Amino acid sequence: MNISARNIGSCVVLDCSGKITLGPGTMALRNAIRDAVKNGTKRIVLNLGDVSYIDSSGIGELVSSFTHASSQGSKLVLVNLTNKITELLSITKLITVFEVFKDEKSALVGC
């Protein structure tokens, strides 16, 4: 799992690639989001376009990170979901919890 951060206005875009699985994948995701929250970022855009796989631990980390960001006054949104991730979030009904955007430009409105 690789994550690179880009600052765009008052937002941070976290470009993720690889697999979000138990261990290094979930730790990388947790650390990147918590660092952005700690730095006072109000909107974190999680770009999942290059994520090839996400397991139940990865889903759990998404929910945990969403909750943490919200409790600290930040907003975590998702962009560029693959068909597999969209289906997984739909099956688990989490698609209604997260704010999901088709493209980065839409996700960055207001930054």
pLDDT band at 110 (very low <50, low <70, confident <90, very high): confident
Q: Which domain holds residue 24?
A: 2-103
Amino acid at 81: L
Domain count, the chain: 1
The β-bridge partners of 78 are 46, 100
Domain-embedded: residue 97? yes
pLDDT digits (tens, 9 = 90+) for 59-104: 999 999 999 999 999 999 999 999 999 999 999 999 999 999 999 9
Query: Strand pairing of 2-8 and 11-20?
Result: antiparallel
Distance CA 35, CA 30 (A): 8
Does residue 109 fall inside a structural domain?
no
CATH of the domain at 73: 3.30.750.24
pLDDT digits (tens, 9 = 90+) for 12-59: 999 999 999 999 999 999 999 999 999 999 999 999 999 999 999 999
Q: What torsion, rounded to 10 degrees, do the Cα atoms 77, 1, 67, 72 define?
A: -80
Residue 20 lies in a domain: yes
